[in-house]
Chains A and B, each alone.
Chain A
Amino acid sequence: MRRFSFCVEPGAVRRFARALGDDDPDYAQGRAVPPTFVQSADHDDPDYDRRPRSGEKWYGSAREARNGPMPGAGDSASGFHAEQEFEYHRPLRVGERLEVTVREGRHWHKQGRRGGRLRFSETISEFRDAQGELVVSARFVGVGTEREVR
C-alpha cells in the first residue's frame, strides 16, 4: 500500500482541462474539476514508475531507440490499461488537499482471442479529505499478455 498527499491545485486543474481541449469556464475559474482529474495525482506519487526519476535509467529512448521494457510488466510481453472506474462520493473542491492510498486489488486470468493467456490486475486508489471522508474511489484494471500476440 502506498500513501501520499495530493492537492487539487487551481493551475493543475486549468492545465488538465486545457489538455482535454475543454474550455468550460468552471475549470478555468476554479469552480469545478474535470471528472478524470484525480488521475494527475500520479505526479505526487513518489513511487510512480511512468516518469523519469533522478539517478535512475529511464526506459524510453535516448541515445538508443529503446532502452528497456516498461517496469512492472513482469513476465508479460506487454501491459495495457484495460478499464478504469471512478466513483465520486462528493465533488472535488479546487484547493483542497486529499490523502491518497493506492493498493493492489484482485488478479485474474482469461484466455485471449488471439492466443496467449491474458492476466488482469486491479489497482484501487482512494482519495480522502482532511476529515477522513472518502471523496473519490478509483479502480484501474491493467492487462498483460503472457506471450506476444502481435
Chain B
Amino acid sequence: MALRLADLEVGRRFEEVVVDDLSRTRVVMYAGASGDFQPLHSDEPYARASGFPGTFAHGMLTMGLAAKVLTHTFGADRLLRYRARFLATVWPGDTLRAIATVRALDAAQRRAEFSIEVVDDAGACVMRGEASVRVAP
C-alpha cells in the first residue's frame, strides 16, 4: 500500500538497502539493460590498464538502485523529478543503503520534496540527490 500525504512530515526518513554485496554480474546486467558498454564497468584488463584497481559500477546503476527507496514507498511512476550527483566510486562487493528524507511538503500539489543519500558499507556517501514525488491522494 503506497503512502499518502497525511502519512508524511518534514524530516521523516525512509531507508532501504538497495543492493547487498554488489556482484560484477549485476554490473554486466546493467550494462546490457542500459546499453552503456563503457569497458571500465565490465572489462577488468581495460580498467587495470586505465589505472583503476578493477571494474566499477556505472553511476547510473547507483541512481537506478537508489530510486527503489522512493518507488517502493510511494509506488512506481510517482516521480516528478529525480537528480543525482555522483560523489564516489562504487565497487563490486559494496552494499548500498539509500536514505530519502522529506524536506518539504506541498499539500495543494500533493508534492513531497526529498533529499537522497546513498552510503556504502564503509559509511562513504557515494551519491547525493533530490527528488520530487506526487504522493497518492
Contact = CB atoms under 8 A, between A and B. Distances in A.
A33 B35 CA distance: 17
Contacts of A32: 75-77
Given A83-B84, A88-B81, A61 B67 contact: no
Of the four ranges (under 10, 10 to 19, 20 to 34, 35 or more), the interface on chain B belongs to 35 or more
Interface stretch (A21-29, A111-119, A124-132): A21-29
Contacts of A67: 46
Interface of B: 18-19, 26, 29-30, 32-40, 43, 45-46, 48-51, 58-61, 63-65, 67-68, 70-72, 75-77, 79-86
22 contacts: A16-B64, A18-B33, A19-B29, A22-B71, A33-B77, A35-B79, A36-B60, A36-B64, A40-B33, A40-B34, A42-B36, A43-B34, A48-B35, A50-B38, A58-B39, A65-B49, A81-B58, A82-B86, A84-B60, A85-B81, A85-B83, A86-B79
Interface of A: 12, 15-16, 18-22, 24, 26-27, 31-36, 39-43, 48, 50-52, 58-61, 65-67, 70, 80-88, 91-92, 150
